[in-house]
Amino acid sequence: MTAVDPAPFADLGLPERLVRALHDGGLREAFPIQAATIPDALTGRDVLGRGQTGSGKTLAFGLPLLALQSGNARPVRPRSLVLVPTRELATQVTDSLKPLAKAVGLYVREVVGGTSFNRQVDTLRRGVDVLVATPGRLNDHLRQGTCDLSEVERTALDEADQMADMGFLPQVREILDHVPSDGQRLLFSATLDGDVDKLVERYMTNPVVHSLAPPAASVDSMEHHQFLVSAAEKQSVLARIAAREGRTIMFVRTKHHADRLAKKLRAVGVEAGALHGGKAQNARTRILDEFKSASTSTLVATNVAARGIHIDDVSLVVHVEPPADPKDYLHRAGRTARAGSSGTVVTLVTDDQKQAFRAMTNQAGVKAITTEVRPEDPELARLTGAREPSGTPLAAPQRQQQKPAKSRGEHRPQRAPRGTEPPRRNGSGGGANRNRRGAPSARTGNARPRRSNAPR
């Protein structure tokens, strides 16, 4: 495990324009994973980084991508690629990098499912320097010929373990087979084992490894609690916890349970929204925006949707049902105690679930404090801030109808007028099409595995 102290961004070798943009955004000191990985990434080496969720991995790979790119991308041929597991994470990575990219004259855009394919085609045709994508939608563009990865010089994989858990690795391999084999790879993950190891072996070249945190949620800034509740009083306990001050995420197993619990919480006066994969993308975006702005205080989410929630000031995570998989527990718990903040993780456990919960937390490396609670117990209020909800029912959130794809063109982001953009590189250039020994490689953009003996 690498021990690295925080360091000023100005000391990491980043271009002055990027450092100024970071300072303008109130960022002066890099988190440990950023301080460890950025200098190696700036030398062009493949980098493998392991760190807990919330440790600052977005800038750890994003800043080198922006710092090293010279010139702008040609139409439908991005120069840098970021792969992420969920739509929500794609949006958050894009939003984090956009102001920094603007400072160096680059364009960051996202390509995800659930939004207009044709609008994405128009965006790609305008030229995207750094493309942030989910594997499924990017593969759709590759098959349709609306995106060409033959000029990608650097590829970053964020939350690689989550992509493996969600079954995306076949799609990720298909994408990486379209990317030049001599390009730089930056892979970040909470764990570096199993399927992630296979990905590293096949697609990375002598990567430098920085492992800054164990893959467990038992960190000093996070408290873990097991609340023993009766089935009859569980809903009342949940309502009181949800009525607390501050942002709360409640995890459930199914989308139907998410909708049902959010409806019950609104019925007793709690501003709650449900987030799951069954909702349209515009609805998911709206619900997350309301949660970020604190107009909704409690988010009820499923595992799949929750993997893209990266919000720094969530102070409480509640497992409404104990997760069966220790990885799910750790990923859920990682929504709190982010970016150096503290947080609390609570699991509601009924009598018949105690044994399974104990086995799961042992596997996860977590020691949870056990407390028997009832709705009006002072201990429940002390540990979570629980309080009596208002009891005044709240109206259900208005459903927003998705506009037809054609009407969206009016809101398409525009590039700067010609003559004001940074100069573009001519043609395919020499950098992306030369291998690491300096020999030219005949590349047409067709799929080609990184190593000749790699399985197809």
Question: Are residues 137 and 238 both part of a single domain?
Answer: no
Q: Which of 162, 183, 215 is the last residue of a domain?
A: 215
- Would residue 204 count as lying in a domain? yes
From residue 164, give the alpha-carbon distance in Å to each of 189, 196, 202: 10, 7, 15
Residue 1 has pLDDT above 50, yes or no: no
Instruction: Please list the residues that pair with 131 across neighbouring strands.
Output: 81, 109
Question: Are residues 152 and 235 both part of a single domain?
Answer: no
Number of structural domains (the chain) is 2
Instruction: Please list the residues that pair with 200 across neighbouring strands.
Output: none
Question: pLDDT of 376-409, one tens digit each?
Answer: 999 999 999 999 999 999 987 665 444 433 333 3
Which CATH number does the domain housing residue 369 bear? 3.40.50.300
- Would residue 410 count as lying in a domain? no
Angle among Cα 239, 245, 247 to the nearest 5 degrees reads 85
Question: pLDDT of 117-171, one tens digit each?
Answer: 999 999 999 999 999 999 999 999 999 999 999 999 999 999 898 898 888 999 9
Question: Are residues 250 and 168 both part of a single domain?
Answer: no
Q: Which of 183, 200, 215 is the last residue of a domain?
A: 215
pLDDT score, position 308: 60
Residue 111 has pLDDT above 50, yes or no: yes
- Would residue 449 count as lying in a domain? no
Which range marks the domain in which residue 22 is found?
A: 7-215
pLDDT (mean) for 365-380:
93
Residue whose C-alpha is closest to residue 321's, from 231, 243, 246: 231
Q: Which of 353, 384, 415 is the last residue of a domain?
A: 384
Question: Are residues 195 and 96 both part of a single domain?
Answer: yes
Residue whose C-alpha is closest to residue 12's, from 58, 43, 57: 43
Question: Are residues 123 and 270 both part of a single domain?
Answer: no
- Would residue 319 count as lying in a domain? yes
Q: Give the global pTM.
A: 0.66
Residue whose C-alpha is closest to residue 53's, from 285, 213, 225: 213
d(CA 344, CA 357): 17
Question: Are residues 211 and 229 both part of a single domain?
Answer: no
Angle among Cα 334, 244, 265 to the nearest 5 degrees reads 90
Highest mean pLDDT among 82-91, 208-217, 445-454: 82-91
Confidence of residue 35 (pLDDT cuts 50, 70, 90): very high
pLDDT (mean) for 167-190:
94
Question: Are residues 105 and 184 both part of a single domain?
Answer: yes
Confidence of residue 292 (pLDDT cuts 50, 70, 90): confident
- Would residue 420 count as lying in a domain? no
Question: Are residues 126 and 257 both part of a single domain?
Answer: no
- Would residue 419 count as lying in a domain? no
Residue whose C-alpha is closest to residue 335's, from 95, 90, 53: 53
pLDDT score, position 439: 41
Question: Are residues 165 and 187 both part of a single domain?
Answer: yes
Q: Which of 117-126, 127-136, 265-274, 438-447 has the lowest mean pLDDT?
A: 438-447
d(CA 366, CA 225): 10
From residue 174, give the alpha-carbon distance in Å to each of 99, 140, 446, 449: 31, 11, 11, 9
- Would residue 433 count as lying in a domain? no
Question: Are residues 173 and 132 both part of a single domain?
Answer: yes
Question: Are residues 206 and 108 both part of a single domain?
Answer: yes
- Asked if residues 104 and 129 have their Cβ atoms less than 8 Å apart, the reply is no
Instruction: Determine the longest span between alpha carbons in the chain, in angstroms.
Output: 73
Question: Are residues 75 and 149 both part of a single domain?
Answer: yes
Confidence of residue 450 (pLDDT cuts 50, 70, 90): very low
Residue 334 has pLDDT above 70, yes or no: yes
- Would residue 117 count as lying in a domain? yes
